């Protein structure tokens, strides 16, 4: 169902362009003014040593930049090494930077400890100096099924032999939902193999395309971070199918309302939102058009106003992500309502990411 675009939020601070931003430099940091935040998501790239070398090259080109916040998100293995390298005192003396460089993790798990092999908790991230965690990235919301092969295991469970065996077990138990028994009877009946095979293929395809983190898991991760004093970069974004079906706003509304349900007005300041249309992310894709970005950022800010009121809506940062490059960053940052960018591919090239950070400077 198409959701009407709400009345655009009247924002005070978003009228400034990149050049205006330079002119109002003195104002940056005042209560209510929004500091741009340019964050690089390295995804599964960079061994720790290469990450430090990349950061050093970026800082070299960005010496003395104080009016933007910079975020670096190495993979888990690079966090500790980078945390040691980007200590504010060192950044201040070496590069004229300081507390405007933030260490980001790319994900976390919502439990704090226990038998969760391979997972990393927000508490652990806080302990090594992680400032913010990217939560709900589209790579995790939708792509996990592709990699982890949930599809074939579902398909296997929809074979006649497996279901017949299950039916036998369930019939031997008490209190089994009769609807389940009736469905299994039907699916395993002679002559219904085609239905079963079709369903198996359909579910396999669905799982491959869509299986990933749920809104509920994302909400728990947000909560875990805030509980342990780690800030959140909450990603949202529609895939191409949703955009074509004109479901962009209803989908974003759902993703954000669920993700933010555990965020109180007191903790809303610890959250940055990143709008990343899935169809615009990654190699080969094109960035969203300025009017598409503008419309969605207004929608999100309006939603924040509904949830938390005008004061928080006028200060929360809403980033755009999806093929941000040195040659489009100025145009993107000029869009009213865009407070920064979450950058994938271009953040792996020191020159490119440095140019993105320096978007407001003319040199």
Contacting positions for ligand PEP (CB under 6 A): 41, 276, 281-282, 321-324, 342-346
To the nearest whole angstrom, how small is the minimum distance from the Cβ of residue 62 to ligand PEP? 18
Q: Which is nearer to ligand PEP, 237 or 360 (CB)?
A: 237
To the nearest whole angstrom, how small is the minimum distance from the Cβ of residue 18 to ligand PEP? 19
To the nearest whole angstrom, how small is the minimum distance from the Cβ of residue 72 to ligand PEP? 13
To the nearest whole angstrom, how small is the minimum distance from the Cβ of residue 349 to ligand PEP? 11
To the nearest whole angstrom, how small is the minimum distance from the Cβ of residue 181 to ligand PEP? 45
Q: Which is nearer to ligand PEP, 151 or 344 (CB)?
A: 344
Q: Which is nearer to ligand PEP, 54 or 91 (CB)?
A: 54
Q: Which is nearer to ligand PEP, 46 or 200 (CB)?
A: 46
Catalytic residues: 137, 276
To the nearest whole angstrom, how small is the minimum distance from the Cβ of residue 325 to ligand PEP? 8
Residues whose CB is less than 8 angstroms from the CB of residue 92 and which lie 6 or more positions away in sequence, other chains included: 98
Bridge-partner residues for 312, per DSSP?
none
To the nearest whole angstrom, how small is the minimum distance from the Cβ of residue 60 to ligand PEP? 22
Q: Which is nearer to ligand PEP, 106 or 314 (CB)?
A: 106
Residues whose CB is less than 8 angstroms from the CB of residue 225 and which lie 6 or more positions away in sequence, other chains included: 108, 122, 125, 133, 135, 231, 232
Q: Which is nearer to ligand PEP, 222 or 343 (CB)?
A: 343
Residues whose CB is less than 8 angstroms from the CB of residue 201 and which lie 6 or more positions away in sequence, other chains included: 155
Q: Which is nearer to ligand PEP, 11 or 106 (CB)?
A: 106
The residue number whose beta carbon is nearest to ligand PEP equals 344
Write a three-state SS string for the chain: CCCCCCCCCCCCCCCCCHHHHHHCHHHCCCCCCCCCEEEEECCCCCCHHHHHHHHHHHHHHCCCCCCCEEEEECCHHHHHHHHHHCCHHHHHHHHCCCCCEEEEECCCECCCCCCCCCCCEHHHHHHCCCCEEEECCHHHHCCHHHHHCHHHHHHHHCCHHHHHHHHHHHHHCCCCCHHHHHHHHHHHCCCCHHHHHHHHHHHHHHHHHHCCCCHHHHHHHHHHHHHCCCEEEEEECCCHHHHHCCCHHHHHHHHHHHHHCCCCCCCHHHEEEEECCHHHCCCCCCCCCHHHHHHHHHHHHHHHHHHHCHHHHCCCEEEEECCCCCCCHHHHHCCCCCCEEEECHHHHCHHHHHHHHCCCCCC
């Amino acid at each position: 169902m198409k959701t009407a675009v709400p009345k655009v939020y009247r924002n005070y601070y978003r009228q400034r362009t990149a050049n205006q931003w330079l002119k109002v430099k003195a104002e940056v940091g005042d209560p209510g003014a929004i500091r741009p935040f340019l964050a690089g998501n390295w995804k599964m790239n960079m061994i720790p040593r290469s990450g430090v070398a990349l950061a050093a090259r970026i800082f070299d080109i960005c010496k003395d930049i104080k009016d933007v916040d910079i975020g670096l998100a190495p993979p888990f293995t690079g966090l500790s090494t980078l945390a040691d390298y980007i200590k504010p005192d060192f950044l201040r003396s070496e590069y004229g930077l300081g507390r405007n460089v933030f260490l980001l993790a790319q994900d976390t798990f919502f439990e704090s400890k226990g038998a969760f092999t391979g997972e990393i908790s927000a508490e652990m991230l806080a302990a090594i100096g992680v400032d913010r965690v990217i939560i709900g990235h589209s790579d995790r919301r939708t792509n996990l099924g592709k990699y982890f092969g949930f599809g074939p295991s579902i398909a296997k469970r929809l074979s006649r032999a497996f279901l017949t065996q299950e039916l036998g077990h369930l019939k031997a138990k008490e209190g089994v939902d009769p609807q389940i028994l009736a469905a299994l009877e039907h699916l395993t009946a002679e002559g219904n193999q085609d239905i079963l095979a079709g369903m198996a293929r359909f579910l396999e395809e669905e799982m491959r395309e869509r299986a990933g983190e749920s809104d509920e898991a994302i909400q728990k991760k947000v909560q875990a971070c805030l509980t342990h004093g780690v800030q959140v970069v909450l990603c949202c974004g529609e895939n191409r199918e949703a955009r074509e079906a004109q479901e962009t706003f209803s989908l974003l509304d759902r993703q954000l309302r669920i993700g933010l349900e555990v965020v109180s007005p007191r903790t809303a300041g610890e959250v940055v939102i990143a709008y990343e249309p899935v169809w615009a992310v990654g190699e080969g894709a094109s960035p969203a058009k300025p009017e598409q970005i503008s419309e969605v950022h207004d929608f999100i800010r309006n939603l924040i106003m509904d949830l938390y009121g005008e004061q928080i809506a006028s200060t929360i940062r809403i980033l755009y992500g999806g093929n941000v490059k040195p040659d489009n960053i100025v145009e993107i940052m000029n869009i009213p309502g865009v407070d920064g960018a979450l950058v994938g591919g271009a953040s792996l090239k020191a020159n490119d990411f440095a140019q993105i950070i320096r978007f407001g400077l003319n040199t």
